[in-house]
A and B are shown apart, each in its own frame.
Chain A
Amino acid sequence: MGNKQSTFRDDQLDEYQDCTFFTSKEILRLHGRFRDLAPNVVPLDYTNNPDVTLPSSLIITMPELKENPFRYRILETFSEDGEGNLTFYDFVDLFSVLSETAPLDLKIIYAFRIYDFNRDGFLCLEDVEETVHRLTGEELRVEERRLVARRVMEEADLDGDGKLSLIDFQNMISRAPDFISTFHIRI
């Protein structure tokens, strides 16, 4: 596959295959999905790397993302401008990291960035509380959320500084066997 299509040049497809975990067929399919979001804006021909960015409000309508409580954070983490507006590069990158074949280390780094709501490089108590809030909605009382966040901190904070660094997070995830199967989007 790849001789008939005119969306990408061969060297572009090669580049995509090297920089993501997708095959050329999947990349073309992703381009199709990207284009379906806004057929009038996204060109069919990507051979000269057009600079097209889709707004986050459009991307979260995708079925893979629309039920995810962290969808805005995911978009913000992978976007270049930090606001959640994705170019096709960012789009492919997003689904590549969240694909089945991406290694655990890479997923851990991006998961850390996603859960870091205040973007300070650490998962502090407020970040964890916000995560719990997103997961349970308004069902838990504020004290219960705080209690859960404090328990999480006790369990994972090894160096005792009151927040989780990347190391703490990595150590903790290595003992959470569900992570690799849940932190995964099929597209």
Chain B
Amino acid sequence: MDTVDGVFYPSHSGAVSNPLLDQLPSYQSLLYRRKSSGTSSTKRRSLNRGRHGSTSSRSGSGRWASGRLEERPPTLRSTADQRPARELPWSMEEKRRHKEQRLQQCGDLGGWAQWRMSARHYLKRMKEDGQDLLSALQLWRADIHMIEGMFGTGIQSYFSFLRFLVLLNFVMFLLMFSFVMLPIVISTHTSFVNSTFTGGTGSECSVYPPTSRQGLVVFHQHIIDLLSGTGFLEQTYLFYGYYKVNNIHFPSFSYNLPLAYLLCTITYLLLSLLWIVKRSATGFKRKLVQDEDRFQSFCNKVFAGWDFCITNENAARLKHSSLLYELKTDLEEERIRQKMAERSRKEKCRIYCLRVALNLFVIAVLVCCFYCIYSATIFSQQKQAQDQQYYFIVELIFEYLPSIVITLANFITPIIFSIIISFEDYSPAFEIRFTLMRILVNHCECGLVKWWGQQEFAIPQNVLEIVYGQTICWIGTFYCPLMPAINTIKYFLVFYIKKVTLVNNCRPASRPFRASSSTFFFLAVLLIGLALATVPVTVSIAQIRSSDACGPFVNFTTSWEAVPRAVSQLPLGVMTFLNALSSEAFAVSFFVITCLAMFYVIALAGAHKRVITQLRDQLAMEGRDKRFLIQKLCQAQSELPSRTSRSRASHGYHGNPHSSTSGVFVVQPLTHYETQA
């Protein structure tokens, strides 16, 4: 008995509907909608026969499925021919045979087609080799591979993020170097270019006393200067004040350095924005899809939960426990959601009032913290200004009072928050995010965060740290053009330090961190940092009066003035065009158009979402309709006065499944089938 295709049960009336379902044209075409196909059905079956030999359904080749799942009508054979052999779900033997068959077919075509095929093949091979070489050049590839194996993809995403920041800082440094530093270096060290320097305006502020140490200098003073950026470092390329050049006259053109300096600043901010947005675009799309389907959380964890990259026993154990934790949390959330749905009106009122009161309390705590820090700073400065002599310890306390208060605040507030949130009765996921937000508000105020005894590699805190550093870099590069270089080196070292700490001291966070959403989360926080950094930079370029004593903008009132002055020296046509771009009329209309576009896109997205929900419901309903109809059909069939001998359902696969009476095949006895065929 031919029961290789064990998907069909012997004909119990209930299960007979399955083969009917599988024969339906819509089902068959759905199977191949995703272009999984193969060669003709007869060849497939003979191949399988040869390998299976026997008739048992349970044993037999692991390749059984290639016969069953990918059964296809001959009309769809062509799609297989167009797909490269390696994308087909067959064994190597079958793929080789398919490839040989295709080559034979090609040999029948003309010489031109053959040449084209071989050229395409060659180009593909070249491209693959090129990509292979490029990926081998990727920084820290082996290290990140190892971290992925030991700790999973969540922590690996942190290190990929760090690598991205190293690259970003390096590119920023290259930008500043090639457009600001290189021309100056060329002009100072070669003779065929000369430069005009920014002259002093003669006013009181236009002289900056030289800070190079005179006379006998203690050795450790130099070290302090190196670490704090004073003394001899002030007269180097490190700081804004050293760039005193106004114009560099190359043989063929004149290079306006203040303009270049300003435009570089704007460019690196824009470049960072574009790069981060591009990188987060994929993550954002995935996150949208994920948030839409909150109800698919179980499937996600069961079928896409295990990280196949894990090679380490500890990491495996941790993954098991994190999956367990996630599943338990989900079951718990289900329970809570049910409980919340059953909440009575009075209870809801009570919970909301409690939440409002507790949130007010949280805000009060935060305000209190800020006030304490503020008053401590004022007190400390007053005491230092008074210049009285106290005991050494007391003096030390006065000097470090602000830092002490900040540290205490950072220490106590997370504890208070975690106690409060247990009263607020949120769902666990919301709880985590909310606590993080509250701590983030506090974190913004302080300069130093101390954590005591890190036992887990806490990803959020580490990410906040490096984002904070990057924000400082963005703000500071305007006044310290070498800062991206310093940052590059710093993050380079941080990578190795964190890696060593991770491997030797830490166990991964027991709270699971999903890779797809974590990349997006890191980039979102980085974007917030960029937005915050743009504010001081914009203010200092446009509002604050530039230094009279040193720097490239001595001859201007504000740094921004370099641009209008440069524009006024352009030819008339370009000047009018640029003036029109900066006029209010243009700005307002541009703003209005952007708003309209945004509203349109939002409306479109909303419409699509509605259509998707409708279609999904429709799909489920169609499935149910189908089953209902098939059951009715079977009932009707069984009432016919004909022999209902046990026909093998597998016969349904032979012959043309597109026949309109295909459903009837199954329950008819063998002879009946033959008359129909």
Are B89 and A109 interface neighbours, CB within 8 A?
A: yes
Are A155 and B306 interface neighbours, CB within 8 A?
A: no
Instruction: From the candidates A136, A177, A183, A185, name the one contacting B286 in the complex (CB within 8 A).
Output: A177
Are A177 and B290 interface neighbours, CB within 8 A?
A: yes
Among B59-67, B419-427, B437-445, the stretch that binds chain A is B59-67
Are A18 and B31 interface neighbours, CB within 8 A?
A: no
Are A155 and B62 interface neighbours, CB within 8 A?
A: no
Instruction: From the candidates A19, A111, A170, name the one contacting B85 in the complex (CB within 8 A).
Output: A19
CA distance A47 to B627 in the complex (A): 54
Question: Known: A136-B323, A176-B296, A178-B514. Contact between A90 and B92, CB under 8 A?
Answer: yes
B81-109 to A contact mask, C-beta < 8 Å, 1/0: 00011111101110110010000000000
- Beta-carbon contacts under 8 Å, B342-357 to A: none
| Shortest beta-carbon distance from B138 to chain A in Å | 13
Are A161 and B627 interface neighbours, CB within 8 A?
A: yes
B45-60 to A contact mask, C-beta < 8 Å, 1/0: 0000001000001111
CA distance A31 to B34 in the complex (A): 32
CA distance A39 to B62 in the complex (A): 26
Question: Known: A93-B91, A131-B303, A176-B304. Contact between A20 and B298, CB under 8 A?
Answer: no
Closest to A169 in B: B303
- Beta-carbon contacts under 8 Å, A119-162 to B: 119-122, 128, 131-132, 135-137, 139-140, 144, 147-148, 151-152, 155-156, 158-161
Q: Classify chain B's interface size.
A: 35 or more
Asked if A5 is at the interface (CB within 8 A of a chain B CB), the reply is no
| Shortest beta-carbon distance from A48 to chain B in Å | 15
- Beta-carbon contacts under 8 Å, B314-352 to A: 315-316, 320-321, 323-324, 327-328, 331, 334
B16-27 to A contact mask, C-beta < 8 Å, 1/0: 001001000001
Are B31 and A167 interface neighbours, CB within 8 A?
A: yes
CA distance A21 to B63 in the complex (A): 20
- Beta-carbon contacts under 8 Å, A95-125 to B: 96, 98, 103, 105-106, 109-111, 113, 115-116, 118-122
Q: Which of B68, B99, B145, B299 has the most CB of A within 10 A?
A: B299
Asked if A69 is at the interface (CB within 8 A of a chain B CB), the reply is yes
Asked if A182 is at the interface (CB within 8 A of a chain B CB), the reply is yes
Asked if B73 is at the interface (CB within 8 A of a chain A CB), the reply is no
Contacts of B327 in A (CB 8 A): 132, 136, 140, 144, 148
Asked if B36 is at the interface (CB within 8 A of a chain A CB), the reply is yes
CA distance A19 to B97 in the complex (A): 10
Asked if B310 is at the interface (CB within 8 A of a chain A CB), the reply is yes
Asked if A92 is at the interface (CB within 8 A of a chain B CB), the reply is yes
CA distance A185 to B145 in the complex (A): 11
| Shortest beta-carbon distance from A184 to chain B in Å | 6
CA distance A156 to B88 in the complex (A): 25
Asked if A61 is at the interface (CB within 8 A of a chain B CB), the reply is no
Instruction: From the candidates A80, A90, A166, A178, name the one contacting B516 in the complex (CB within 8 A).
Output: A178
Are B69 and A121 interface neighbours, CB within 8 A?
A: yes
Contacts of B316 in A (CB 8 A): 67
Asked if A50 is at the interface (CB within 8 A of a chain B CB), the reply is no
Contacts of A177 in B (CB 8 A): 286, 289-290, 516
Are B87 and A119 interface neighbours, CB within 8 A?
A: no
Contacts of B299 in A (CB 8 A): 152, 155-156, 172, 175-176
Contacts of B563 in A (CB 8 A): none
CA distance A139 to B317 in the complex (A): 12
CA distance A23 to B84 in the complex (A): 15
Q: Which of B30, B292, B303, B310 has the most CB of A within 10 A?
A: B303
Are B324 and A139 interface neighbours, CB within 8 A?
A: yes
Are A178 and B304 interface neighbours, CB within 8 A?
A: yes
B182-197 to A contact mask, C-beta < 8 Å, 1/0: 0000000000000000
Instruction: From the candidates A69, A152, A156, A175, name the one contacting B289 in the complex (CB within 8 A).
Output: A175
Contacts of B30 in A (CB 8 A): 167
- Beta-carbon contacts under 8 Å, A60-104 to B: 63-64, 66-70, 76-82, 89-90, 92-93, 96, 98, 103
CA distance A90 to B514 in the complex (A): 32
Across chains A and B, the number of contacting residue pairs, with CB separation under 8 Å, is: 210
Contacts of A183 in B (CB 8 A): 304, 308
Are B89 and A110 interface neighbours, CB within 8 A?
A: yes
CA distance A96 to B148 in the complex (A): 19
Are A89 and B93 interface neighbours, CB within 8 A?
A: yes
Closest to A81 in B: B61
Asked if B219 is at the interface (CB within 8 A of a chain A CB), the reply is no
CA distance A139 to B289 in the complex (A): 31
CA distance A186 to B312 in the complex (A): 13
Asked if B619 is at the interface (CB within 8 A of a chain A CB), the reply is yes
Are B7 and A121 interface neighbours, CB within 8 A?
A: yes
Asked if B393 is at the interface (CB within 8 A of a chain A CB), the reply is no
Contacts of A159 in B (CB 8 A): 21, 623-624, 626-627
Are A119 and B64 interface neighbours, CB within 8 A?
A: yes
Closest to A167 in B: B30
Asked if A17 is at the interface (CB within 8 A of a chain B CB), the reply is yes
CA distance A98 to B307 in the complex (A): 12
| Shortest beta-carbon distance from B3 to chain A in Å | 12
Asked if B125 is at the interface (CB within 8 A of a chain A CB), the reply is yes
CA distance A109 to B148 in the complex (A): 25
Asked if B231 is at the interface (CB within 8 A of a chain A CB), the reply is no
Closest to A62 in B: B311
Show the binding face of A for B, using Cβ within 8 Å.
Answer: 15, 17-21, 23, 25, 63-64, 66-70, 76-82, 89-90, 92-93, 96, 98, 103, 105-106, 109-111, 113, 115-116, 118-122, 128, 131-132, 135-137, 139-140, 144, 147-148, 151-152, 155-156, 158-161, 166-167, 169-170, 172-173, 175-179, 181-186
A-B contact pairs, 29 of them (CB 8 A): A18-B85, A19-B92, A23-B129, A67-B311, A80-B51, A82-B59, A82-B61, A92-B92, A98-B308, A119-B6, A120-B6, A121-B7, A135-B305, A135-B320, A135-B324, A136-B320, A144-B331, A155-B298, A155-B299, A160-B620, A166-B69, A170-B34, A177-B286, A178-B304, A181-B516, A182-B308, A182-B515, A184-B308, A184-B309
Given A82-B64, A160-B627, A183-B308, 13 more contacts at CB 8 Å?
A19-B86, A69-B320, A79-B61, A119-B6, A152-B298, A152-B299, A155-B295, A155-B296, A156-B299, A161-B627, A173-B303, A175-B296, A182-B307
Show the binding face of B for A, using Cβ within 8 Å.
Answer: 6-7, 18, 21, 27, 30-31, 34-36, 51, 57-65, 68-69, 84-89, 91-93, 95-96, 99, 125, 128-129, 132, 145, 148-149, 153, 286, 289-290, 292-293, 295-296, 298-300, 302-313, 315-316, 320-321, 323-324, 327-328, 331, 334, 514-516, 619-620, 623-624, 626-627
Nearest 4 CB-CB pairings of A with B: A159-B623, A67-B316, A89-B92, A179-B304
